Structure 1
Amino acid sequence: MIRPLPALIAAVALATTASPAAAYWEYGHQTVAQIAEANVRPRTRIAIRALLARSDLLATPECKAATMAEASVWADCIKPLKDTDGKSRFGYAYAWHYQNVSICRPFDLTAPCKDGNCVSAQITRDVTLLKNKRAPMKDRVEALAFLIHFVGDVHQPLHAGDKDDKGGNDAKADYGLYGPARLNLHSIWDGYLAERAISTRPTLIRRYPAAVRTALAAGSVTDWSRESWQISHDAAYGSVLSDPCAPTPARLKLDDATIAKLVPVARLEVERGGLRLAKLLDSALG
């Protein structure tokens, strides 16, 4: 179950925590997962629940994954987990959440996805693992949890394209009246903007008509990556810079008019993420 935050509470929380992306971490990923759950075939839903019923195999009691909503944030929850010797248990997966393709050069996944260390490559890997019924159960459960999360990640534009600024984390920015020192372009798209976009009516969590599902879920993982990269150029950076590739000023400003224009862009990305996740799950499990 998603626990929506009123905008003011979300703003305060984001301004006062060390990780201002927390709102998208829960709200965005859970919404993508719940859209997918509402739109997969019944047989797929049964298969998903059967796999997640074995989430104990992940051996991460601190990070639950027994439902799609829980699994949608599992990949973030496990980041700080340590082995008994103090080493990171899942450090190898840090780079799997994004693919920072420069918005100022032609789209190319070759370098960002070297050795499979990017979000789109991992989505493809997870689908392949889920299709393989001979793979160990633990591996398939882990692949499902990662897949649910990573499809959400690739539809957050600043996980798909940037200006060599860590996905906008180095680009300080103000959001309307809010301009805490820790706020940056990435945290705005992860937090403030995501919260407003998802909580704007009508609800995004519903069964979509077949024609809409087909249209929004069309294309391949590479197509979706390119689309998200383009949105990063046109909307994430283009909404605050007349030339998205011009040097970024010391502080960007998203005024109310800009925010209003970006809300439908952010909503559509969440819808696409949910319906495309449903498509992949049907392909792998349905």
Structure 2
Amino acid sequence: MRKQLAIVAVIGLSLGLISWGFKGHRAVATIAEKHLTSNTANVVKAYLKGETITNVSTWADENRDKATSSWHYLNLPLGLNHDQFLDAVSKQGNDNVYSAILKVEAMLKDNTSTPVQKNEALKYLIHLVGDAHQPMHVSRKEDKGGNTIQLQFDGKGTNLHALWDSRLIEHEGLSEADIVKQYDWANDAQIKKWQADSPMEWLWESYQISTELYADVKSGQTIDEAYYKKYIKTIHLRIDQAGVRLAGELNKLFNEVTAPKIDVTAMFVNKATKDIVSVTPLNAIGKAVGNVVSTTGKVFSVKDIGSMVLVNLGAAYPNQLLTVVLKGDAKQMASQIEGKTISVEGTVIDYKGKPEIVITEANKISIKE
């Protein structure tokens, strides 16, 4: 997920809207993992090259591909009934969250798709099912999904989109584990009902909610505790529905599929240093202590402490998956990488139980476009 507030406002407008925030997307994925069949879980693990659904759940935002930026949302005018909604969505073409879900599911079903294509399609599907359930992702074009509707909440400026992206969830104050425990309440009958619904119906539900949300605020309004209490249950519902339905889609796709054998780690030789470098997923970096690796992740925080700059990847401190320590010439990169997805190369060390990579040369960091 993007940084909140300023970063959401800038990146969100240029590359498409972002949903649920880091905690929300991970909650959707973790709930989904609980509802997978064992065979589906094995197939998913193989296509994700050993990574978990939870750890790739924000990849589609971090990837920042302009060609797929419109895949994250659906723009529609207010006031449509169900039939008008179906007609409007069907006429929108191939660059919205509905068509994107159908597109990546088709790729996952296609036996001619390569492992690389299936890996990317699966990461998109995991993320986009979450997007489809965030009400402000099925909303109006003229206010960019609520991004231009300015509000105040918890004594800080925000907007309607960011409020639903993460601010209400953050206000609740739960850990990721507690979010999953409290949000995933559906019984067997409810799960069966939700998983029988089509992606079009998920979006219709979001559209109905966003219509209510537009009517319930005015630009400049201060959001109070009553608003939070009124709508936090809606957030619980939508995240639980997204997780349960994601599991349903994955089970339909993979329950009868034989898990492929795919190498988890690729290797290459750095010609400049002659080092053998392992391409290691960020979530597995803690197991690579002592190895020279290349890894990729989103920068969540950058802190200059004078002699060095601390860069946290995967999550903000203290939940980061990796800390990159910039020293010497590498410190010049600090101002360029905040909030971006970067690749780094170096030796993984252990610092007080946390993995770190110390970088002194700027060419060991590359910003992903």
Normalised by the shorter chain, which TM-score bucket? Answer: 0.7 to 0.9
1:204-255 alpha-carbon deviations (Å, 9 max, x no partner): 4769542231123331111111111001112x22333xxxxxxxx4413321
Match in the other structure for 1:40: 36
1:148-171 alpha-carbon deviations (Å, 9 max, x no partner): 000000111000123621000010
Q: How many percent identity over aligned positions? A: 29
In structure 2, what is the Cα distance between the partners aligned to 1:94 and 1:213? 30
In structure 1, what is the Cα distance between the partners aligned to 2:152 and 2:59? 30
Change (3 A) 1:208 1:198: farther
The answer to whether the 8 Å contact 1:130/1:140 transfers is yes
What does residue range 65-76 of structure 1 map to in structure 2 within 5 Å? 66-76=51-61
Match in the other structure for 1:18: 7
Given candidates 186, 189, 195, the residue that maps to 1:217 is 195
* More off after superposition, 256-265 vs 206-215: 206-215
> 5+ residue gaps in structure 2?
13-17, 256-369
In structure 1, what is the Cα distance between the partners aligned to 2:46 and 2:180? 31
State the Cα distance separating 1:30 from its structure 2 match: 0.7
Give the 3-state SS of the residue equivalent to 1:115 in structure 2: coil
Give the structure with higher Rg (CA).
2
1:238 aligns with 2:215: yes
The answer to whether the 8 Å contact 1:103/1:232 transfers is no
Greater share of strand: 2
TM-score (ref. length: structure 2): 0.60
1:94 aligns with 2:63: no
2:102 aligned partner, one-letter code: T
Aligned residues: 240
> 5+ residue gaps in structure 1?
1-12, 55-65, 80-89, 241-248
TM-score (ref. length: structure 1): 0.76
Change (3 A) 1:124 1:196: farther
* More off after superposition, 209-218 vs 90-99: 209-218
The answer to whether the 8 Å contact 2:73/2:137 transfers is yes
The answer to whether the 8 Å contact 2:183/2:239 transfers is no
Change (3 A) 1:51 1:163: closer
Match in the other structure for 1:257: 226
Give the 3-state SS of the residue equivalent to 1:173 in structure 2: strand
* More off after superposition, 161-170 vs 21-30: 21-30
In structure 2, what is the Cα distance between the partners aligned to 1:149 and 1:52? 13
Given candidates 131, 139, 148, the residue that maps to 1:170 is 148
Give the 3-state SS of the residue equivalent to 2:222 in structure 1: strand
The answer to whether the 8 Å contact 1:174/1:252 transfers is yes
Indicate the structure whose relative CO is greater, using CA pairs within 8 Å and at least 6 residues apart.
1
Match in the other structure for 2:24: 28
What does residue range 111-260 of structure 1 map to in structure 2 within 5 Å? 114-162=92-140, 164-175=142-153, 177-180=154-157, 183-196=158-171, 199=174, 203-204=181-182, 209-234=187-212, 236-240=213-217, 249-260=218-229
Match in the other structure for 2:290: none
Give the 3-state SS of the residue equivalent to 1:31 in structure 2: helix
In structure 1, what is the Cα distance between the partners aligned to 2:205 and 2:240? 14
The answer to whether the 8 Å contact 2:74/2:139 transfers is yes
1:278 aligned partner, one-letter code: A
Greater share of helix: 1
1:39-75 alpha-carbon deviations (Å, 9 max, x no partner): 0111110100010017xxxxxxxxxxx2211211100
In structure 2, what is the Cα distance between the partners aligned to 1:24 and 1:194? 8
In structure 1, what is the Cα distance between the partners aligned to 2:69 and 2:253? 24
